[in-house]
């Protein structure tokens, strides 16, 4: 599934839009976690990448239940999308050829494994700027469905 | 029972939440509700549209434990996560918050706040955020 230009422009690193997003995951028995994620990028028009910066519960959830939903929190106008699909974390230490839906660990870590080389961590507001950075890996969400989060049409399929 | 601080209540009421739900096997669905009200120390209520009710009602019936994260600018200025038991009565979703976490990216991400005495939570907020009053 290919994201639209408008979606890519919001989520792509360096787009200047600095969207703040949430990544919702769940344990295998249904306990949700909503993780604040101020950094994202788009890969091959259908994957959303985000750095793992201390996302402890998200990581635990992904390790036992490989699904997630990414929603846009800020800016709030006009981007009421939810991106849902299989999700995994590619971490430092994975074999370079480790693959998730065709996304290869070595390639991901070479480019996105040190997110600060792509965009400065202080590109976000002071309130959520990490005071120290220890990136453990990269979350990879394969978008298989985009639904609306607009109040009047919540859940209706966009893509 | 968790106790919401005045700062938390202010941001929740003004901007609402992303509400994370899942079915019993963990398939997640998130909705966004742009306004909320708080009741007492721990309850957050949302007026849902029919579309939002239809979107999550099966999840709430089979698995009422949900997660809340503040929407819009509150995602930046009020980096909290709340978890609790939800009940759906018509279009009103009520969440009785049981867990509260700080979600500022960094070493204090996932720091649990509801286990601290309320006065310690207020001191924590005063030391971590410049604005402790209601959102402007």
Q: Do A152 and B66 touch (CB under 8 A)?
A: no
Cα–Cα distance measured from residue A54 to residue B104, given in angstroms and rounded to the nearest whole number: 10
* pLDDT digits 0-9 by tens, A24-74: 999 999 999 999 999 999 999 999 999 998 899 999 999 999 999 999 999
Least CA distance to B128: which residue of chain A? A127
Least CA distance to A28: which residue of chain B? B26
Find chain A residues with C-beta within 8 A of B32's C-beta: 71, 80, 149, 151, 154
Cβ count near A42 (within 10 Å)? 19
Kindly state whether B61 is in contact with chain A, defined as any CB-CB distance less than 8 angstroms.
no
Q: Do A127 and B34 touch (CB under 8 A)?
A: no
The SS3 of residue A119 is: coil
Q: Identify which of A20, A29, A34 has the shortest CB distance to residue B76.
A: A20
Evaluate if residue A18 carries a pLDDT over 80.
Answer: no
Domains of chain A: 5-153 (2.30.110.10)
The SS3 of residue B74 is: helix
Q: Do B51 and A34 touch (CB under 8 A)?
A: no
DSSP state of B7: H
Name which of B83-87, B98-102, B107-111 the model is least confident about: B107-111
Q: Do A54 and B71 touch (CB under 8 A)?
A: no
Burial label for A137, CB within 10 Å (0-12, 13-18, 19+), is: buried
CA dihedral B55, B57, B59, B61 (to 10 degrees): 180
* pLDDT digits 0-9 by tens, A96-129: 999 999 999 999 999 999 999 999 888 788 777 8
Q: Per-residue confidence at A23, pLDDT binned at 50, 70, 90? A: very high
Q: What is the pTM of this model?
A: 0.96
What distance separates the 2 farthest-apart alpha carbons in chain B?
A: 41
> How does the average pLDDT of chain B come out, rounded?
95
Are the CB atoms for A53 and B106 separated by under 8 Å? yes
Structure token digits, residue B82: 């709340």
User: Mean pLDDT over residues B114-125, rounded?
Assistant: 95
Domains of chain B: 6-128 (2.30.110.10)
Q: Give the pLDDT confidence score for residue A139 in this predicted structure.
A: 98
* pLDDT digits 0-9 by tens, B20-69: 999 999 999 999 999 999 999 999 999 999 999 999 999 999 999 999 99
């Amino acid at each position: 599934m290919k994201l639209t230009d408008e979606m890519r422009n919001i989520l792509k690193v360096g787009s200047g839009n600095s969207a703040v997003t949430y990544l919702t995951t769940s344990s295998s028995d249904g306990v949700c976690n909503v993780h604040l994620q101020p950094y994202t990028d788009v890969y091959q028009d259908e994957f959303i990448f985000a750095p793992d910066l201390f996302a402890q519960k998200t990581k635990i959830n992904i390790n036992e239940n490989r699904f997630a939903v990414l929603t846009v929190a800020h800016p709030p106008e006009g981007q009421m999308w939810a991106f849902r699909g299989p999700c995994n974390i590619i971490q430092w230490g994975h074999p370079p050829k480790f693959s998730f839906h065709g996304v290869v660990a070595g390639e991901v870590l070479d480019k996105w494994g040190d997110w600060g080389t792509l965009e400065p961590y202080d590109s976000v507001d002071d309130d959520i700027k990490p005071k120290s950075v220890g990136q453990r890996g990269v979350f990879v969400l394969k978008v298989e469905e985009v639904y609306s989060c607009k109040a009047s049409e919540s859940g209706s399929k966009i893509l | 029972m968790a106790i919401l601080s005045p700062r938390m209540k202010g941001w929740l009421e003004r901007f609402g939440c992303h509400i994370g739900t899942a079915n019993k096997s963990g398939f997640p669905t998130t909705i966004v509700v742009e306004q909320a009200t708080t009741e007492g120390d721990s309850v957050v209520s949302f007026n849902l549209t029919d579309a939002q009710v239809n979107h999550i009602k099966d999840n709430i019936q089979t698995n009422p434990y949900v997660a809340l994260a503040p929407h819009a600018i509150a995602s930046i200025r009020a980096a909290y996560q709340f978890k609790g038991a939800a009940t759906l009565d018509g279009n009103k979703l009520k969440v009785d918050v049981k867990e509260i976490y700080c979600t500022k990216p960094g070493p204090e991400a996932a720091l649990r706040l509801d286990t601290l005495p309320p006065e310690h939570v207020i001191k924590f907020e005063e030391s971590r955020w410049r604005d402790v009053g209601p959102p402007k």
